Every structure is written in structure tokens, then in C-alpha cells.
Copies of this chain bind each other. A is one copy, B any other.
Amino acid sequence: MTKRTDSPLPDFDLDGFTPYRLTVAAKRTSEELSRKYRNQFGISIPEWRVLVHLAHSGNVSVRDIDSRVAMEKYEVSRAAKRLQEVGLIAKQANEHDRRLVSLTLTDKGRDLMAELLPIAQAHQAALEAQLGEAFQQLEAGLAKLLEDPE
């Protein structure tokens, strides 16, 4: 009786593995835009997220951002530090609770966002156009997947 050396591995293909597919899709859709941000404006993705949140929500704390924007607080802290160093945002202590740090866009930051946001919008529009009706489906799937922050 011979010992089978080729054990029966399950037939598993990365192409059917949703986490993998999502990772590739995320990378592909982010890459072009993030390279542009980096090369033309010197902005990283975490920094961009912070800026977007400030442009959208005005004056907020680090805590507000990490709870809203799927970033760890140390990422927000780091991004905010760099953004302050280059003069795009201002940090100041909150009056009532001095643990909190209020972040706001500076005029320079606002000007930058006036340039960046339309680019992002155009990118999104191009993506939607490219996907056609598949976009609605993708969105529906993502909505379900992301619905529980649990």
C-alpha cells in the first residue's frame, strides 16, 4: 500500500476570494489619484482624508476624525502634525477641554482644497462612467458590507 504524497488540497483560487478582490480593486482605483496628490501637491492619503474631513465638517478634533474616517487616532495625529508644519491646517487647544485639539483649515489649506476636491469629484465621475450600471451594483454591495460598523 503506497502512501499518497500529494494530499488533496482544496481547490482554492484567489480570483474568487472577495477580500483579495476588494484589495486589488481598492488599490487600482486609488493609485492614480493618490500618485497625483503626492507628486503634484505633496499630500499623502491619510493627510488627504484629514483635509477632506475638515473641508466638509469645519472645526473638529482628532477624535472626531478618527471615529468618522476609518483611521486610527495616531494616524490622524501624524497627518495633522505634518499638515500643520506645511501650513495647511491650524491646531489649537479647545477652551473647555484642554485635551482636545481643534483642527481647522488655514486659508492656504482652503485654497488647496478648492483645487483638490474638483479633481476627486472628476475622478469619481470617471469611475462611475466607466463602470456604467455595474457601479450601482458595486455600491449596493459596498453599502451592505459597510453598513454595520461592527
* Residues on A facing B (Cβ under 8 Å): 5, 7, 9-14, 16-30, 33, 49, 52-53, 55-56, 69-70, 107, 110-111, 113-114, 117-118, 120-121, 123-124, 127-128, 131-132, 134-135, 137-146
Contact = CB atoms under 8 A, between A and B. Distances in A.
A113 B12 CA distance: 10
Nearest to A6: B110
Give the top 5 A-B pairs by smallest Cβ distance, nearest first: A138-B141, A134-B144, A22-B26, A137-B137, A19-B29
Contacts of A14: 49, 52-53, 56, 69
Nearest to A132: B144
A29 B25 contact: no
A139 B142 contact: no
Q: How many copies does the complex hold?
A: 2
B140 A25 contact: no
Given A19-B127, A22-B25, A25-B145, 10 more contacts: A13-B52, A16-B124, A18-B128, A18-B139, A19-B30, A19-B123, A21-B146, A22-B26, A24-B70, A134-B145
Contact of A9 (B27, B33, B110): B110
